[in-house]
Amino acid sequence: MRKHIRGIVLVLLILLLPCLVWAEDEPENDIEITLNWGFNGKAGNSDACLPVTATLTNHGEAFEGQLEMEVPVAGNQESDLGESLTMIGNDMDYTRSKVCVWKKNIALAAGETRQETFYLTFPWANGTVQAYLKDGSRTVQTASLSKNFSANQDIALIGVIGAQPEDVQQLDGIQISEETTKGMGDIFVSVYQMDPSEIPDSWKDLGQLDALLIGPEAAISGEQWVTLHRWQQEGGILLTVEDGQDFFEVFENFLNGESRPTFFDRLSEKWGYVVYTGYDTSQIPVRKRPSLIKYFILILFYACLAGPGLYLILKKQGKRKYFWSGVTLLSVLFLGIVALLGTGTRLTAPVLTMRRMYTQQDHIWGETLQLGVQAPYNNTYQLYLDKSYHLTMPSESGYSAENVNTNITDKVEIYEKEDCYKLTFSRLPVFAGNAFFLNRDHAVSPEEEIQIHASGDNEHIEGRWKNPTGYRIENAILVLTNRIVFLGDLEPGEEGTFSEKIHSYGNGGLEKILRKYLDLKDTEYPDYAVNAVTEQIWDAQRKEIEGVCLLGTISNSDTSFEMNSGYEVDGITQFYMPVDISWQKEEGTIFCPNGEVLASVESGSATAGTNLMYGQDAVLDYDLSGLGEITGIKFFKPEYDDPKYFESFRGQVAFYCWSSGEYETISKWEKVFDRTELEKYLSADGTLRVRYQVADDMDVTDKNCTLPCLQITGKVVNPDA
């Protein structure tokens, strides 16, 4: 009996042997992670990338693994498959919950302490970041960090480089009173003293700062100056403090100067916080829509042929027994025809949509790229991007990250490898859009720059151009506010001359004039091309209110930013460059072809500079002090406008007489007024005040009014004469 029991026990032990698990002592967790917001924990402008610094301290042996930073983002709706399928959905109205994971390889020596900085974007109001240090699939250490961004609304974060602590004591903590902050309440200055080594590689990562002051002792490299100047070109406020100047005094002079509105516009972004880095790439056409009429006719023909048509033919020949065989063959045939017709509109792989902008300014060549990524399936897929670009992923959401299940929601992983970014998309529905922003910059010599040397009067601009680059700039245009000059194509490696007319347009006339003069015969999507140029012009005019810029479309740009993926790329590449035009084409004469940009609104319902009037009357002051002795002003209606939404001004024009203090009605205002006629209407400081009153029969309730355009001619005044 005992032998049987022993045998049974032995058999059981043998059977249980594979189930045994050898237990080892877990290694002690000797790595510590501390997370902190960049700029010493001070967060300013929360519409920009926020630096998050992970400090890793290794108290044990050498370690190699991976550091992951996870940012969950809550969307404003969980899922809408119908909208995600359209390829033209509005990303700003449709955002899904997702989790974005940034990954880096980490190697820590024994006893080493290292800092890794990630520039991340977060949803509105508050954000959370979770850090994971992993050894393979095993999590070694975790840490988390949360912040309420709404607390930043009354803080102006000012960076300072090249100053001693005592130099900024007076600046730190000053209060900017509510009377000067455009309704934002009191603003308090918080100073962060930066070391030059903290200047990031990309201007995009400086967006956290509301202003940056550079002292005379700052040791800044050439590449760092490129970053700083590009940040300034993109709207950053960069102030230079010279020897002997006080930091507080320089900042105070800036607040009291002409550029102060840019500072408060920057602060106001915190009140309407949405992380969005540019254009909506979902509007870029990828395929032309299938012709419904063509398919309707084909299906109708099939129904007639496979039904009564085939039946009658077979009946006439006495072969009705072949009817169902014939229907089957016709079905296969028509299915093949439909498949063949659909090859031009079918998508079988992920598609990238881009809107790229090249800029040339201050001897710097800048490149920004809005990138949209979507796939016609919900399988996991990868995308490889060039590491020479700086990559940002906007959160696209104004919602907090609470209650986001990171185990089931949409997931985007960004793995920073040595030579590229590896992006992995998983758990996404069909055609779910993902937006990215890429940028890079480098300095260029004058010999490498596109050049425009030109002069102009009130009617024409003429000059020379040179394009030493390898890019072909199609439909090049010179843009002034409310004016446009068409130059044609600037071929790569060539130069030429031009003499072109200055065209005028009203608030609704830009699209009309573009459709008339742009060469779109070889453009696959002309409507999109016109819309893209229209947006580019409006953006340029916001930058160059009184200046001139060269715009164009680059037709031979490459797509090398995509590496080892082979996906289709659709979109547009554009060019922007400020241009200096001499408006003294004739010696001793000053021309201003768009004098309306010199206007400011004294009273009434109008927008200065844009010629837009949206009420019954308005009074505008035109500052002509910079044009010497005024010899003539021409008032005229714009060449192009949209009568559906805007009506050219009709009504009464009156000039203000500074000596009598009364307005004098001008019976015929569409004319050139000479010096004699204007003399009593110009103030001592060169201001012309004009009152516009619309005619009684003008409808300004359903449409706006476009005010007259102005051409101004002046004579150079010799102060020694």
Q: Give the DSSP letter string of 594-612.
A: TGGGGEEEEEEEEETTTTE
Q: Is residue 208 helix, strand or coil?
A: coil
What is the residue whose two structure tokens read 């890079």? 440
Residue 147 has what pLDDT? 78
Residue 28 has what pLDDT? 52
Task: Provide the β-strand partners of residue 294.
Answer: none
Residue 429 in any domain: the answer is no
Q: Is the pLDDT of residue 626 over 80?
A: yes
Total domains present in the chain: 4
Residues 572 and 601 in one domain: no
Higher pLDDT among residues 317 and 26, named by residue: 317
Query: Where is the domain boundary, 555, 582, 609?
Result: 582
Strand pairing report for 651-657 and 662-666? antiparallel
Query: Rounded to an integer, what distance in angstroms lies between the CA atom of residue 330 and that of residue 302?
Result: 8
Residue 367 in any domain: the answer is no
C-alpha distances in Å from residue 71, one per residue of 185, 270, 365, 411, 436: 31, 20, 32, 10, 15
Residue 335 in any domain: the answer is yes
What is the residue whose two structure tokens read 């002409």? 258
CB 73 within 8 A of CB 62: no
Average pLDDT for residues 567-595, to the nearest whole number? 93
Residue 293 tokens read as 């009429």
What is the residue whose two structure tokens read 């890019």? 471
Residues 576 and 594 in one domain: no
Look up the CATH number of the domain holding residue 192: 3.40.50
Residues 492 and 532 in one domain: yes
Q: Is residue 241 helix, strand or coil?
A: coil
Query: Where is the domain boundary, 344, 360, 387?
Result: 344
Residue 75 tokens read as 């969307």
Which of 159, 153, 237, 234 lies closest to 191, judged by CA? Answer: 159
Task: Provide the β-strand partners of residue 147.
Answer: 127
Task: Provide the β-strand partners of residue 145.
Answer: 129
Query: Rounded to an integer, what distance in angstroms lies between the CA atom of residue 463 and that of residue 527?
Result: 31
Minimum mean pLDDT range among 267-281, 314-328, 414-428, 437-451: 267-281
Residue 679 in any domain: the answer is yes
Residues 577 and 593 in one domain: no
Dump pLDDT digits (tens) for 349-377. 898 999 999 999 999 999 999 998 988 88
Q: Is residue 334 helix, strand or coil?
A: helix
Average pLDDT for residues 519-536, to the nearest whole number? 90
Q: Is residue 449 helix, strand or coil?
A: coil
Residues 252 and 180 in one domain: yes
Residue 278 in any domain: the answer is no
Cα within 13 Å of Cα(467), Cβ side: 20
What is the residue whose two structure tokens read 């919900």? 378
Query: Where is the domain boundary, 344, 364, 379?
Result: 344
Residues 574 and 597 in one domain: no
Which of 359, 259, 357, 361 lies closest to 580, judged by CA? Answer: 361
Higher pLDDT among residues 184 and 236, named by residue: 236
Residue 18 has what pLDDT? 57
Residues 548 and 607 in one domain: no
C-alpha distances in Å from residue 416, one per residue of 82, 104, 107, 220, 462: 34, 5, 14, 27, 49
CA angle 100, 106, 110 (to 5 degrees): 145
Dump pLDDT digits (tens) for 115-131. 999 988 877 667 788 99
Which of the 8 DSSP states describes residue 679? G
Residue 15 has what pLDDT? 62
Q: Is the pLDDT of residue 65 over 80?
A: yes
C-alpha distances in Å from residue 302, one per residue of 295, 314, 345: 10, 16, 21
CB 140 within 8 A of CB 31: yes
Residue 442 in any domain: the answer is no
Residues 190 and 305 in one domain: no
Query: Rounded to an integer, what distance in angstroms lies between the CA atom of residue 329 and that of residue 279?
Result: 49
Which H or E run includes 232? helix 222-233
Cβ neighbours of residue 425 under 8 Å, at least 6 residues apart? 350, 373, 375, 380, 381, 382, 383, 411, 412, 434
Query: Rounded to an integer, what distance in angstroms lies between the CA atom of residue 436 and that of residue 569?
Result: 14
Which of 479, 454, 480, 457 lies closest to 631, judged by CA? Answer: 457
Residue 490 tokens read as 């600037």
Which of 611, 627, 618 lies closest to 710, judged by CA? Answer: 611
Residue 83 has what pLDDT? 38
Residue 208 has what pLDDT? 82
Minimum mean pLDDT range among 174-183, 184-193, 457-466, 603-612: 174-183
Per-residue confidence at 178, pLDDT binned at 50, 70, 90? Answer: low
Cα within 13 Å of Cα(297), Cβ side: 4
Q: Is the pLDDT of residue 344 over 80?
A: no
Residues 641 and 702 in one domain: yes
| Domain coverage including residue 310 | 292-344
**pTM summary value:** 0.84
Residue 439 in any domain: the answer is no
Most confident of 41-50, 475-484, 519-528, 644-653: 475-484
Residue 275 has what pLDDT? 39
Average pLDDT for residues 491-495, to the nearest whole number? 96
Average pLDDT for residues 586-594, to the nearest whole number? 92
Residue 44 has what pLDDT? 52
Mean pLDDT of the chain: 84
Residue 225 has what pLDDT? 94
Average pLDDT for residues 178-201, to the nearest whole number? 80
Residue 676 has what pLDDT? 93
Alpha-carbon Rg for the chain, nearest whole angstrom, is 33
Residue 684 in any domain: the answer is yes
Strand pairing report for 589-592 and 460-467? unpaired
Residues 541 and 594 in one domain: no
Report the sign of the C-alpha dihedral through residues 309, 310, 315, 320, in that order.
Answer: negative
Average pLDDT for residues 512-523, to the nearest whole number? 92
Higher pLDDT among residues 246 and 272, named by residue: 246
Residues 478 and 593 in one domain: no
Look up the CATH number of the domain holding residue 658: 2.60.120
Residue 521 has phi, psi (to 5 degrees) of -65, -30
Q: Is the pLDDT of residue 556 over 80?
A: yes
Query: Rounded to an integer, what distance in angstroms lies between the CA atom of residue 259 and that of residue 293?
Result: 57
Look up the CATH number of the domain holding residue 472: 2.60.40
Residues 558 and 599 in one domain: no
Dump pLDDT digits (tens) for 312-325. 888 788 888 888 88
